[in-house]
A and B are shown apart, each in its own frame.
Chain A
């Protein structure tokens, strides 16, 4: 992969993180456009998550919005059971804890990167959508660094993504996504769980091979 191809790939990857994050917000009327874009980015990257993303696309028509909202609330909001708690600490700490030490650590990493949870965001810092968005931010900075030819900065950003995945999302995405796949009542969320799991683990594996793996 030459530098131009790499930048294009990384650009798709950063978009995929952003679009996955959007999929973990309460579904709105534009959901099909979001998923359509996600499918294209994943396809462009040649990710195995493209297959479940295609299923997501088939299942997210505007006529199904109400059903999707209900499933979203049941899976990720409550009030009962919360079969797929979207918070890292629930998986990383004992007793299904929220706002635990790991949550504070995630926020600390955001702040070290110069960002914080927006005042308008009414959720815990280790919500799946927030962590995916943070990876979008880091990968976006990586792409920007590449585009200005600053490979040291790009490598630094990749290192930060690796660290975040190793300490946070990469550690809990599998049990979380499996819970979504198991508990979802709609094909959309079942497939979202599968696509997220495949994409994040695939990405973590790729990044773990380090800069040499990326710049081969």
Chain B
């Protein structure tokens, strides 16, 4: 209320971590009606740059699903389906069959769980994925392995893609793609296997073999883009280059290829507009605390400059009071002071906020800085909500329902808590939020919610009505009503409509764009916002591309911090198959089964060093070592391991908690168990998507202690 009295509602901030799809109540509606622009999600410390490539080639901003059981070749880029990325449970279930049916090649500096069972492991130099991707594209075109029913062909049927030679665009008739010849001329014509071999550190023969194997499997040939090549400072174009291979082989939207989400029919919550008074409207107009949309941070999600979040930069916004100070903040199911690169900035930023609230199931490093910790319900047993997932060509909308009695007095984060806050605000004279929430009526009875429990249930019934109400039926599973839906608990979509998007993609041209008119428009729009050229945008965002190259998938040298002489190794961050969103570090099984991750040790946090490198340093397995980057250091245990490329050191993310429970730290609040990778990862960004860079971003040195 003080913020309202002082016209400072924009100084309220909501930080979102893991969520259900009732998120918009707390995240969007409440923030807007209070009058703040600052709803900050975790998305850009997740994998936004991974979505960049698919969006600027085929107009899809989201995680893909892969038709793995019908694929003949699967080329994985920094993705380990058995450990991380999406739908791990589904891929773990079917991967045994997939290994038997398809050729699998995996590009990653470290031998991952999936790589251990792959036909080809390409231990690439970190950050050089784009070079490999354009070389594979080059080979596909030179060898005539592109999928003609999708891409089209030369009008006379003669392949003119000859290394080093430009091609006349008018001689090629595209069908469902746009700009393949221009891509060749601008980027691909000189990118031979030999050229890529020098840059990637991979044998030219292997590059040639993988490219031909992949092309021969067209169109059932998946190029699976994980976070690895994309969540890098210059990863946006690698994301495009790796994903563009799906276009060349006709795998996009095709059987045995890469698929988007099936359609689902959940609805939206009532609009907040009429409950936003003048104070709120004025407050919401302020610039966001993460500084998105500035020249150096375009964050052009879905083609709109400044529409993507730059989560990790919010810490700097708060610290520097730029554009202003934050006075009140709520975080829920997040732990930015551990999970974001250079987390000490978050520690200082959170300490600076005068009133900070954390809603969480388990106290964490974020809670440590909070004035109030509100215990959250457990999503599996105590919460109303729903989640959406995709896999195997289907979409599932799954209900979360309270099935046990709460032992203590804790509330549901996304529904009950905002309702109770709304009640308190109403008591203090601001009832707009409560009146808005009262419009969430039970679709069955028309009754307005009278308390937080009714509100949680009615909100869920309201947004899922199209799924369970026979009179609103739009597709997929059909139910007789809420009772049956809540009993079954899941709605399944219709099967995937293959090739329906061919010629109808949400790009500027409707086609799969190798020359991205969609990205061109987005970059031009951002440049115009700042009165500069696209070249100046490229420069401000640390990209090397100039001119037309900015609009095509292309190779960029990686941007890696640290002088090679002082920091001789490149850090390779990776995830554990036991991490599960990072919330397992206080569980004994995390440590008891840690060797399920290749190269890992039980009850230890190891940095995996190639024995060739380790011997030069006189480091043995089991030695305690200090790893230092230009921005921080951590202490862990050394492990000799051949499954990591010489010149790189791989360390799994997940340990290094200092306030996450009795087991997660060696001495609670004082001494972490293991080291947090984020302590050595600098706060750098893939600025076009706003993503934090985790991979190929820093060099490190190792000292035995």
- Chain A residues within 8 Å of B, Cβ to Cβ: 78-81, 98-99, 122-124
Contact = CB atoms under 8 A, between A and B. Distances in A.
Contact of B407 (A80, A81, A123): A123
A99 B373 contact: no
B367 interface: yes
B451 to A, nearest CB: 14
A75 B682 CA distance: 38
Contacts of A98: 407
Nearest to A96: B662
Contact of B363 (A79, A122, A123): A79
Interface string B385-401: 00000000000000000
Interface in B368-420: 368, 373, 375, 406-410
Nearest to B662: A96
Nearest to A81: B668
Contacts of A79: 363, 367, 373, 375
Interface of B: 363, 367-368, 373, 375, 406-410, 659, 668-669
B407 A78 contact: no
Contacts of A124: 407-408
Contacts of A81: 668-669
A78 B363 contact: yes
B492 to A, nearest CB: 36
Nearest to A124: B407
Contacts of B410: 122
Q: Is the interface of B mostly helix, strand, loop or mixed?
A: loop
A40 B363 CA distance: 40
Q: Is the interface of A mostly helix, strand, loop or mixed?
A: loop
A80 B406 contact: no
A122 B409 contact: yes
A99 B405 CA distance: 13
A80 B668 contact: yes
A99 B407 contact: yes
A67 to B, nearest CB: 14
7 contacts: A79-B363, A79-B367, A80-B368, A122-B407, A122-B410, A123-B408, A124-B408
Given A79-B367, A80-B668, A122 B373 contact: no
Contact of A80 (B375, B408, B409, B669): B669
- 4 A-B pairs closest in CB distance: A122-B409, A79-B363, A79-B373, A122-B408
A81 B660 CA distance: 11
Contacts of A78: 363, 373
Contacts of B373: 78-79
A98 B407 CA distance: 10
Nearest to A80: B363
A79 B366 CA distance: 12
Contacts of B408: 122-124
A129 B368 CA distance: 28
Contacts of B363: 78-80
A29 B685 CA distance: 51
Given A79-B373, A80-B659, A122 B406 contact: yes
A78 B409 CA distance: 13
Contacts of B409: 122-123
A41 to B, nearest CB: 29
Nearest to B373: A79
A216 B373 CA distance: 53
Given A79-B373, A122-B410, 13 more contacts: A78-B363, A79-B363, A79-B367, A79-B375, A80-B363, A80-B367, A80-B659, A80-B668, A98-B407, A99-B407, A122-B408, A123-B407, A123-B409
A122 B363 CA distance: 19
A153 B267 CA distance: 63
B161 to A, nearest CB: 62
Contacts of A80: 363, 367-368, 659, 668-669
A122 B659 CA distance: 26
B137 to A, nearest CB: 52
Contacts of B375: 79
Nearest to A99: B407
A81 B669 CA distance: 9
Nearest to A120: B409
Nearest to B362: A79
